[in-house]
Structure 1
Amino acid sequence: MVQRPVIVYPPDEEGGRRVRIDGVILGRAFHERDVLVFLRRAGLPDWDQVDVATTKLIEWRGGGPEVWTH
């Protein structure tokens, strides 16, 4: 289960955003659906896209879940 904040970094030149959970970079997301996959793998299987867009657990750097361009 995720205990510490999830950080989604600003988009890079290709529109990917690094996702870090509990201090570990899990990969690059290209849409909030990708962030959802990372969260489910990290122990939040019941989450959906609304949770991703509204939770205080995620720190969106460089724009919120609607920002995917550099």
Structure 2
Amino acid sequence: MDHFTQHPHIVVHPPALDGSRRVTEGDVTLGLASHLDDVVEILRLADLDRVEVEESDLIEWQGGGPDDWPGLSEHEDR
């Protein structure tokens, strides 16, 4: 498990009109994600790849959780 060394506060913001979600740490924008894999890659590039994206308390999901990507789900076949 994660040790009590550093606890960044990561925010995945609500989806924009195009379905992308901004990922920030504090006042710094780390990147723009269109999919959960993008969030993982953004955190890896920020040297935060030890963070469990879907389960971590370090990540605050606003406007929907790790499975909410409006740009992906609107064209699903059913």
TM-score relative to the length of structure 2: 0.73
Amino acid paired to 2:57: K
Identical residues among aligned pairs (%): 42
The structural deviation recorded for 1:4 is 2.2
With CA pairs under 8 Å and 6+ residues apart, which has the higher RCO, 1 or 2?
1
Tell me which protein shows more helix as a share of its residues. 1
Gaps of 5+ in 1: none
RMSD value over aligned CA atoms?
1.8
User: In the alignment, which residue of structure 2 is the partner of 1:38?
Assistant: 42
User: In the alignment, which residue of structure 1 is the partner of 2:61?
Assistant: 60
Matched pairs, number: 66
TM-score relative to the length of structure 1: 0.81
